[in-house]
Amino acid sequence: MAKITTPATISTEFGIDSALLAKLGIIDTQLATDTNLFIDPLLLSQSAHSEINTGAATAYEQRFEWIVKLLMASKEKGDVPWRKAEKLFKFSEVSWTCLGYSSSVRGSGFGKELTAHALDTASQIVKLGVTDVDFFMGLSLFEEGIGADRISDMTTNIILNNLIELTIRVNKELNLPVKDFDVFGQVKSLPLNTYTGEPLLFVPTDIVRDLPIATDWSEISHAVKANEDLRERVSGKIGVIWANMRRKDKARVRDAALSSKDSFEQLLEMLREVPRESYDFSKDINGEVFWARLVKVAEKYPLTLHRGRSPSSPEEALSLVGEIIAQFQDLIENKGIWKELWTDDKRPRREKAAQRLFFTVAYSYCKANNLDVTPEADTGNGPVDFKFSSGFNSRVLVEIKLSTNSLLHGYERQLEIYKAAEDTDYGIYLVIDVGGIGQKYGEIQRSKLEATARGERTSQIYLVDGNRRASASKR
């Protein structure tokens, strides 16, 4: 997994007020790593931007209408219409939007094998008599390898010129530095992503979701259960399977959907029933963009560590990380940063948001003290939340857990596995209390005491109170 080197976003890098980006309807994306949001093609037609609701929506529909016509005309795999359809169905990864799952801004796209398999399935669907272009979104429900990132890549490829038009228009107001780029044989003056050297394309806030509709199994299931009329209409094979759907049931859905035109149209009907709602940036429950406004927290609340050099031993590194965590605790508990752990409707943000909040705070302090911090470091046994290091020998792992989750297993098993994989004895278990902690903290404390009594080296435990506070007047 690639290292996140900086929390820089469009607003922080170019000195733009994030509120202006919100007013313009543009995502304040991260520049050195992907923002975990995805363009959902089913949202294009309702965008507030004309380049999208007209240009992009039309481009998407026309591309798949043409593919359907070619598949209908094809008599056998490999003939001229098939090859033309295959050419139109090739979607490479486009990193210019900085969206996706990667820890860098590099994604995956459609490979040759996946393209061939998906096109073969599309051909079977067309032969059933289904010509609605929305069925291409439905492929992700039962095609292995087609998930949120590839749906987004597919859509980005098709609407790339429309995103470029939008970017050029919006940048007349933002005035970011531009550079001439060759885009499909044409020179375009586009904003420069200073971290990748590539173009930076702006993405509207109203066309993205945390998961595109066609890959979010839970939302489709919820829509079916909530709509009595729809339940009656999808009582066939697809409806029966969906009532007991598990995430690994793609093969069963595929077989049922391809059994007849009626079965596949049931699937499309369920797909359309899901509310077409883009990601709610005001709540930002996943913590995708809120951390941009916190980058300067360390400047507002400086931390003096009284070291003129980087840590030379794991003990020094552990002490340094402990000071950073103590500062993080002070910011949360005493400086009002606890608010960033909660959405406006008084719900705790997800654990990933808390991890990003910690990274944003820790980043500046680490940079000032020559200590490297790597979020989601891949140990080979899954990702530990953070690895702090100074050279090979001075490594400290930090695992962050919200109190709403199970705590004991993470302390006794996960963190120890990560430590073994990183060849270090030094770990910190950081618990952030956002409610529901009950006896969980006492359990991990007892576990630590018992392990210490057995002569084992244990990880340090920190508890930060991230619960909501009453206003100063009410306190």
pLDDT in tens, 427-446: 889 999 999 999 999 999 99
Give residues with Cβ within 8 angstroms of 454, minimum separation 6.
none
Q: Which amino acid is at 29?
A: T
Q: What pLDDT sits at residue 154?
A: 87
Report, as an integer, the average pLDDT of 369-391: 59
Partners of 186 in beta bridges: 183
Distance CA 110, CA 36 (A): 19
**Contact of 37 with 352, CB cutoff 8 Å:** no
Contact (Cβ atoms closer than 8 angstroms) between residue 92 and residue 73 = no
Sketch out the chain's domains with CATH numbers. Answer: 10-273 (no CATH), 290-465 (3.40.91)
Per-residue pLDDT averaged across 124-151, rounded? 81
Give the model confidence (pLDDT) of 249-260 as tens digits: 667 777 777 888
What does the pLDDT look like over 398-421, one tens digit per residue? 889 999 998 988 888 877 777 777
Least confident of 184-193, 282-291, 324-333, 341-350: 282-291
Q: Could you give the CA distance from residue 171 to residue 165 in angstroms, rounded to a whole number?
A: 10
Res 380: pLDDT: 42
Least-confidence region, from 182-186, 266-270, 351-355, 457-461 = 266-270
Coil, strand or helix at 211: coil
Per-residue pLDDT averaged across 356-369, rounded? 75
CA torsion angle 147 151 152 153 (round to 10): 100
pLDDT by residue (tens digit) across 312-329?
777 888 888 888 899 899
Element counts in the chain: helices (H) and strands (E):
19, 9
Give the pLDDT confidence score for residue 272 in this predicted structure: 77
Q: What DSSP state is assigned to residue 433?
A: E
Question: How far does the chain reach from its first CA to its final CA, in angstroms?
Answer: 45
CA nearest to 460, candidates 402, 415, 418, 413? 415
pTM as predicted:
0.77
- Segments in 175-227 forming alpha helices (H): 217-226
Average pLDDT over every residue of 100-117: 65
Concatenating the DSSP letter of every residue in 367-379 gives HHTT-EEEEEEE-
Structure tokens at 100: 């996706």
Given a contact cutoff of 8 angstroms between Cβ atoms, the answer to whether 6 and 195 are in contact is yes
* DSSP assignment string, 327-392: HHHHHHHHSSGGGGGB-TTS-BPPHHHHHHHHHHHHHHHHHHTT-EEEEEEE-SSSEEEEEEEETT
Of 367 and 334, which is predicted with more confidence? 334
Residue 104 is predicted with a pLDDT of: 41
Indicate if the pLDDT at residue 378 is higher than 50.
no
Q: What is the pLDDT of residue 392?
A: 60
